[in-house]
A and B are shown apart, each in its own frame.
Chain A
């Protein structure tokens, strides 16, 4: 436990140093509007990252969650538009259910055919994206057609402040949703049998089996929960940006996986925490957003993300080196 805590302390220290550096280069970083927009940018990626964290703790990896998110948000919004239905609770339940169903599909193939999760989720991502774009079309549901209540839900602010330039900036209330999901996830991982069996399974599947962990149920739990979070985050994204685009989130898996690894989770499974992941997400989002503030050309963004992935994995590989041959 202590090593986990120290891992988080290291990430937090890195975060603080990076923040100070960015602040020195461009003081605008500490502006309320920038901090609020940073918090806003954390919400959707953060919720997805919590799902990926769960999968990584179990020793797997998922590249299908962006496709699941896009499918859940687009199917839900298109259905709402078609039925002329407006509301908040039911759509979010629907999106989550779509996520769970797709997650179940992942779990079924991974568990039944004992296949490497990366390959399985590459395949399911392609199926889900292809079917959504092929059957439902590619047209974006824009703000005029988006259900009004969904937009109103995403628009809510916790506090709003008037910035120096006169514009009003608000801290989105969706931050509370993110924190709520994180707290639940933390409790599940740390204080329930299911959460402990995810750690046990990720640490060593065979030992977990012999210790009496129901491995099948664990795998289903992991992928269904990740699917649920992906579906939920997808619709949340739509309500926050006021449009539904079936092509959203393409390539996002890289950022999210990078953030989770940066947060100290081990891809070998058995290690990782909610707090670490949240710090990892914040660090990655902040660095990406701040590249613009620091007047770095946007074309360099991908290089920076790649270097962060390599550096973070190199450090975790060094930390976990004894586990290797």
Chain B
């Protein structure tokens, strides 16, 4: 009997609030099985999963950032531009003659300057996020248009800073962030885990997280309940900007370059994965675990298709079709 009593809530959870997660896990396993079945020798190689673990984190962090923006019913269309701008600003810092000299000398100076570069990138991300937050929370501009506009401004500034071509030649310590290994696991993957855990804790265990969910569920009620709504929204966009900058560091570290129009396809993918992961774009619902599962599912899908030599254009089409399919499934599953 005791066992029964313990089991019941678990089953109820699996069928109830965690149904979305279970469903996602099933989709992920299905994709894994299909891709493994279609190309057993290439897909199941250790190398394939290792390369996924390097590419996945930058997109994953952008997806979590998108999810945070969606919690209050908003969206952030400027994340990719913020990521590029942050990486480019740091790249320009490294180009400064004095800094470049010190990095070339190696030793503690190089590491110190890299840390400085990381701080610069994070500051840029935070400032960009705060700008979004001020426009959305204080000036009351609708998030789509505000971030569409700031996205143009950030991408434009990145273009002005670089003059067009890519910035290359980041210090070794910086590229280690994107390509290195720690305890046998990709360094960027560790960063993804840290970001995911921090955001999950913030959303689940802090005032900010709970308030964001409440604002997203019913903005008017949240105001009447005494939640300082505009401040909370401001914080959420600041968080989004900060995460976008982290993604920018990973992207530039992995490719050892940064450009104003890198990763533009990431925007759609971030929206898709956030929605697929159970985030409600109208606000009030979103979980880090769901987003991570959706991320793994789609990374497996696209890596499998790449192994089968499906053209990148067709992969884009499949991503879009997946988004529409998920919309349909979410609708059919939701109580009417």
User: Contact residues of A with B, CB < 8 Å?
Assistant: 61, 109, 112-116, 118-120, 122-131, 133-135, 138, 254, 257-258, 261, 267-268, 297, 299-310, 313-314, 317-318, 321, 324-325
**Interface residues in B232-269 (C-beta closer than 8 Å to A):** 268
Contact (Cβ within 8 A) B135 A116:
no
Contact partners of A304 in chain B: CB under 8 A: 156
Given A258-B149, A299-B160, 4 more pairs with CB closer than 8 A? A122-B271, A130-B318, A258-B148, A304-B156
Please tell me if the beta carbons of A122 and B323 are within 8 angstroms of each other in the complex: yes
Contact A129 B140 (CB under 8 A): no
Closest CB in chain B relative to A62 CB, distance in Å? 11
Q: How far is the CB of B74 from chain A (nearest CB, A)?
A: 11
What is the chain B residue whose CB lies nearest that of A302? B156
How far, in angstroms, from A261 to B275 measured CA to CA in the complex?
A: 27
Any A CB within 8 A of the CB of B164: yes
CB distance from A173 to the nearest CB of B (A): 33
B145 CB contacts on chain A under 8 angstroms: 257, 261, 267, 309, 313
List of B residues within 8 angstroms of A126 by Cβ: 268, 316-317, 319-320, 323
Asked if residues B311 and A314 are in contact (CB atoms below 8 Å), the reply is no
**Which residues of chain B come closer than 8 Å to A303, judged between CB atoms?**
152-153, 156-157, 160
Task: Note all chain B residues with C-beta closer than 8 A to A310.
Answer: 135, 141, 146, 149-150, 153
Given contacts A317-B140, A317-B142, contact A134 B313 (CB under 8 A): yes
Mask of B81-93 contacts with A, CB within 8 angstroms, 1/0 = 0000000000000
With a CB–CB cut-off of 8 A, which chain A residues contact B164?
299
- Asked, given contacts A303-B156, A314-B139, whether A123 binds B149 with beta carbons under 8 Å apart, the answer is no
Q: Are B140 and A324 in contact (CB under 8 A)?
A: yes
Q: Are B139 and A317 in contact (CB under 8 A)?
A: yes
The interface bits of chain B over 199-236 (1 if a CB of A lies within 8 angstroms of the residue's CB, else 0) are 00000000000000000000110010000010000000
* Contact indicator A120/B142 (Cβ below 8 Å): no
B297-331 residues with Cβ-Cβ distance < 8 A to A are 311, 313-321, 323-324, 327-328, 330-331
**In the bound complex, how far is the Cα of B151 from the Cα of A92, in angstroms?**
35
Q: Known contacts A123-B327, A317-B139; is A299 also within 8 Å of B316 by CB?
A: no
29 A-B pairs with C-beta separation under 8 A: A115-B327, A122-B272, A124-B324, A126-B316, A126-B319, A128-B317, A130-B315, A130-B316, A130-B318, A133-B313, A134-B314, A134-B316, A254-B152, A257-B145, A297-B160, A299-B163, A302-B155, A302-B159, A303-B156, A303-B160, A306-B155, A307-B149, A310-B135, A313-B141, A313-B145, A314-B135, A314-B139, A318-B140, A325-B223
Q: Which of A113, A124, A307, A308 contacts B331 (CB 8 A)?
A: A113
Q: Is B194 an interface residue (CB 8 A)?
A: no
> Is the Cβ of B149 less than 8 Å from the Cβ of A309?
yes
Residues of B within 8 A of A (CB): 75, 135, 139-142, 144-146, 148-157, 159-160, 163-164, 219-220, 223, 229, 268, 271-272, 275, 281-282, 311, 313-321, 323-324, 327-328, 330-331
Chain A's nearest CB lies how many Å from the CB of B119? 25
A113 CA / B330 CA spacing, docked (Å)? 9
- Measured CB to CB, the nearest residue on chain B to A130 is B317
Interface pair B156/A268, CB less than 8 Å apart:
no
> Least Cβ distance of B173 to chain A in Å?
30
Cβ-closest 8 pairs across A and B: A130-B317, A306-B152, A126-B320, A302-B156, A303-B156, A309-B149, A306-B153, A134-B313
**Complex interface: chain A residues within 8 A of B271 (CB):** 119, 122
Given A114-B331, A119-B327, A126-B323; A306-B316 close (CB under 8 Å):
no
Q: Are A130 and B139 within 8 A (Cβ)?
A: no
Residue in A120, A302, A318, A325 whose CB lies within 8 Å of B152: A302
Q: Which residues of B contact A134 (CB under 8 A)?
A: 311, 313-314, 316-317
Cα of A120 to Cα of B326 in the assembled complex, Å: 11
CB-based contact B313/A129 at 8 Å: yes
Query: Which residues from B are CB-within-8-Å of A301?
Result: 156
The answer to whether A113 touches B328 (Cβ under 8 A) is yes
A130 touches B313 (CB 8 A): yes
